[in-house]
Structure 1
Amino acid sequence: MPSMAPLLQALGLGELDAALLAGASVMLSIVLALAVFAGLGMLRNRCAPTSRSYELLHAVRKPLSVLVLVNGLLENLSWLLPAEMRSYLASVETLQTILIIATLLWILLRYIGAVERRLDRLAQADGTIEMPLLRERIDRSSLHLAFKALRAVVGLIALLMLVQAFGVSISGLLAFGGVGGIIVGFAARDLISNTFSGLRIFWSRPFDVGDWIRCRGQDIEGVVESIGWQITQIRTFDKRPLYVPNSMLADSVIENPQRMTNRRIYEFFGVRYADIKAVPAILADVRIMLDEHPAITNDLTRQAHLTRYGAYSVDFFIYCMTATTNWAEFNAVKEDVLLKVAAIIHRHGADFAFPTQTLHLERDGGDPPALPPEDSAPA
């Protein structure tokens, strides 16, 4: 900042006059900051609370008012500081640059937070949010993860701008970071792996919060409660919390029963061999029952066929799909189907077979054959 001495001499002002002028300038900065704060507040209140204009004005209002006030104070440092301290005024321009960068960062973070809250309020009862730009729905956890990543990017850019404001070369810093990054990469290998795995989960979306998942080959099964940068929290069916590193989930084969379109009923039945003549009629009635059952979908395969002759039973199977995927409702439908199959079997005078063994004994009514004379003679 240039020295104010030539200006003071030209105006014929002394040090006391300069101090009074600086005080008046500071008061003007305060009044101007309050005017900006009040003016933006009135403009904001004219907008609908859910509009983007309201969010933008709300994000700008406080940071811009602070910028006007603090910048006014910095501009008057040359008038307020004693003469022996004015040699330090060269750093005021750097402070003003830092102030502008910090204000922009503050505004962006406030606006990002406002947008995140607005989208969060749009969440449906199932916790998903319609995203027209992405042409899909995302859950709350994925939304918060995306905004965390956005804040991290904005913060990194602001940090690089601050470093440059202090006169540090960005290219030199990046060159040093290349060497340092290798060292840090080895030290924080798991941390980095989990972070990138979290991003992979976010973009590939193998599961969402609230989904029931199962990792094949691992003892991991339950309902997803949250997806974070490093770990995913899963609640098992016995209500134990599991905190699974994202890298483990990203490298696993994940089964997501929550996304099933139907559930399958595939059961075997065995009737007695004595009832084999009734099997065709039993199968015909079972097929009719499956076709007419309101909870069995007609769009997919429905089968009932004789499949094998077992060791003690004549076996047939039924194969069908339920319209519901809810676990409790599926069990109720399956129970009803099994009971109806049993009723059909009994209606035809047949019954279920159970493990039995039949022992056939042969008896000859005559005397045992006599030995030949030569075999019966004493030795």
Structure 2
Amino acid sequence: MTDYWALVKDVWTYGIGGTSLGDILIALGILLVFLIFRQFFSRFILRRVAKIVASSSNKLDDTLATALSEPVRFIPAVIGIFFATEYLDLSGTPQVMATSLNRSLIVFVVFWTLYRMVDPLSFLLGKIERVFTSAMVDWLIKAIKLLVALIGIATILEIWGIQVAPIIAGLGLFGVAVALGAQDLFKNLIAGILILVEKRFAIGEWIQVDGVVEGTVESIGFRSTFVRRFDKAPVFVPNAQLSDVAVTNFSRMTYRRIYWVIGVEYRTTTDQLRQIRDGIEDYITSNPDFVAADKATLFVRLDRFNDSSIDFMVYCFTKTTVWGEYLKVKEDLAYAVKAIVEDAGSGFAFPSRSLYLETVPGSSPELFSPPEQSAASSATEEQSTSREEDLSTESSLDGGSDRKKQPKPRKGDDGGDGT
């Protein structure tokens, strides 16, 4: 029993790696105290700071407070780990590892804070956004975040004695090999940058690429552009495909065109044609929904004589480019055109077909009489009929005689001797 308690005392004294279990428990207690303080710090102090910041009119401090809240919550845990390792008073390899751990945690908090501050400070790129686009600014923000993360990882690796330079050199050789097999990826990346620099389209705009897609741009990525069609189906188009073809950007229309061909009946008189033309032109020029003739092309003219109608050409532009509003303006124009044509006493023409009769309607129809047979053809038919009847009779008689006639027996055929 004495030996057992001596063994327990030895384990308690020397513990793990020469550190007593009592010191380890005290170090864990120190860490636990800081974790509890972290909860108190997050629940009361940070919330109080958030309320103070929210009461101000400046939005920058709100975004900064939100971005820095997570790294700040982690600081008490880092301090607790530092004091716990210092209390253990480690030496040798454990001391080196503890020091590297504390340094790594500090570096992690610093670069995490910088990473989170990129978004709130992106307003500094406002002047760049005027030159390029908001999508280009988003790309720059992502690139800055990636750079901060890579520098932080490299710093932590250096703390643990891992050389970063050979890794970068190896990645360079690996990158060359990858580049040879990923030419399309880099082609799409460069095409995406050109799209943003040239400002072909932006997020939220309506574009059309013949034979590829038509819809609203939702995002412009490093490799592809996300376009949502009007039937709500998502389409991911490679950037290279968008940079090599013509792209129609309907969202940047200054005005929206209406081009109609209106056909009226041929019975319409010259005065009625002038009345219709003047009425449509007056409606368009007096309506504030349409663009004036000095700012955009406006034509209401008698255009041509078609097969079934006399055609007017209506060519004008609406001020609105929004599809729903454009349809409403076009609908009102259609109502007005119909009313103008009806008020003029004319009507709309449509393809028709005329039938011309050789006889006067109401007269008796012409009777059809089959041609009469000639006397020669009748005699020939009678002769052929009688010949067929004679042949039929002869064949029937021959068949009957064959059945009735029997050969006469000759003398001696019955087997007698003739006596």
Report the TM-score range of the alignment, normalised by the length of the smaller protein.
0.5 to 0.7
SS at match of 2:53: coil
Residue in 1 aligned with 2:112?
Answer: 106
Question: Residue 94 of structure 1: CA displacement?
Answer: 3.3
* 1:288 alignment partner, one of 266, 275, 282: 282
Deviation, structure 1 residue 45: 1.4
Question: Is the 8 Å Cα contact of residues 296 and 316 (structure 2) preserved in structure 1?
Answer: yes
Counterpart of 1:42 (choices 45, 48, 57) is 45
What amino acid maps onto 1:102 in structure 2?
F
2: CA distance between counterparts of 1:153 and 1:67? 24
Equivalence for 2:75:
64
Deviation at 1:287, TM superposition (A): 1.3
- For residue 341 of structure 1, the aligned residue among 337, 342, 349 is 337
- Residue 277 in structure 1 maps to residue 288 in structure 2: no
The match for 2:102 among 84, 96, 102 is: 96
The share of aligned pairs that are identical, in percent, is 28
Deviations 1:36-62 (A, max 9, x none): 775675266133246346336524422
How far, CA to CA, are the matches of 1:25 and 1:220 in structure 2?
Answer: 64
C-alpha separation in 2, matches of 1:145 and 1:351:
60
Report the alpha carbon displacement of residue 220 of structure 1 after superposing the two structures with TM.
Answer: 0.9
Q: What is the CA–CA distance in structure 2 between the aligned matches of 1:71 and 1:251, rounded to whole Å?
A: 58
Is the deviation greater in 70-79 or in 348-357?
348-357
Query: What is the number of residues matched between the two proteins?
Result: 328
Equivalents in 1 of 2:340, 2:160: separation in Å? Answer: 87
Cα gap change, 1:178 to 1:134, in 2 (>3 Å): same
1:221 aligns to 2:214 (yes or no): yes
Q: Deviations over 1:132-163 (max 9, x none)?
A: 88469988x88876654443232122222234
Moved more, 19-28 or 163-172: 19-28
Aligned residue number for residue 328 of structure 2? 332
Equivalent positions of 1:122-161 (< 5 A) are 134=129, 148-161=142-155
Q: CA deviation at 1:321?
A: 1.3
Deviations 1:62-90 (A, max 9, x none): 232222122233434544x7xxxx34534
Out of 233, 248, 264, the position equivalent to 1:255 is 248
User: What is the CA deviation profile of residues 78-126 of structure 1, one whole-angstrom value per residue up to 9, with x for unaligned ones?
Assistant: 44x7xxxx3453444433332222222332344457x49x99xxxxxxx
Structure 2 counterpart of 1:68, which letter? I
Alpha-carbon distance in 1 for matches of 2:177, 2:223: 20
RMSD over aligned Cα atoms: 4.4
3-state SS in 2 of match to 1:106: helix
Q: What SS does structure 2 have at the residue aligned with 1:301? A: coil
Alpha-carbon distance, 1:265 to partner: 0.7
Higher Cα radius of gyration? 2
Distance 2:232 2:98 in 1: 59
Change (3 A) 1:75 1:183: farther
Q: Which runs of 5+ in 2 are unaligned?
A: 1-12, 357-419
The correspondence of residues 186-225 of structure 1 with structure 2, limited to 5 A, is 186-201=180-195, 205-216=199-210, 218-225=211-218
Deviation at residue 27 of structure 1 after TM alignment: 5.1
Deviation at 1:270, TM superposition (A): 3.4
Q: How much does 1:252 deviate?
A: 3.6
SS of the residue 1:48 aligns to: helix
1:290, CA displacement in angstroms? 0.8
- Structure 1 stretch 312-321 or stretch 20-29: which is displaced more? 20-29
Residues 54 and 225 (structure 1 numbering): CA distance in 2 closer, same or farther, change over 3 Å? closer
Output the CA distance in 2 between the equivalents of 1:87 and 1:108: 32
Letter in 2 for 1:58: S
Contact preservation (8 Å) 1:276, 1:314: no
User: What amino acid is the match of 1:42?
Assistant: I
Deviation of the 1:183 alpha carbon: 0.7
Q: Is the 8 A contact 2:214 2:229 kept in 1?
A: yes
- DSSP-derived class of the 2:260 partner: strand
Task: Tell me, in whole angstroms, the C-alpha distance in 2 between the residues paired with 1:185 and 1:312.
Answer: 65
- SS at the partner of 1:213? strand
User: Corresponding residue for 1:240?
Assistant: 233
Deviates more, 1:329-338 or 1:282-291: 329-338
* CA distance in structure 1 between the aligned counterparts of 2:166 and 2:14, rounded to whole angstroms: 45
| CA shift in 2, pair 1:57/1:254, >3 Å | same
Q: Contact between 1:209 and 1:224, CA under 8 Å: does it hold in 2?
A: yes
Q: Which sections of structure 1, spanning at least 5 residues, go unmatched?
A: 1-13, 120-130, 361-379
Change (3 A) 1:188 1:102: farther
Distance 1:156 1:202, change over 3 A: farther
Q: 1:343 to 1:35 in 2, by over 3 A?
A: closer
Q: 1:353/1:334 Cα in 2 relative to 1: closer, same or farther (>3 Å)?
A: same
Give the alignment's TM-score, normalised by structure 1: 0.67
Give the superposition deviation at 1:286.
1.8
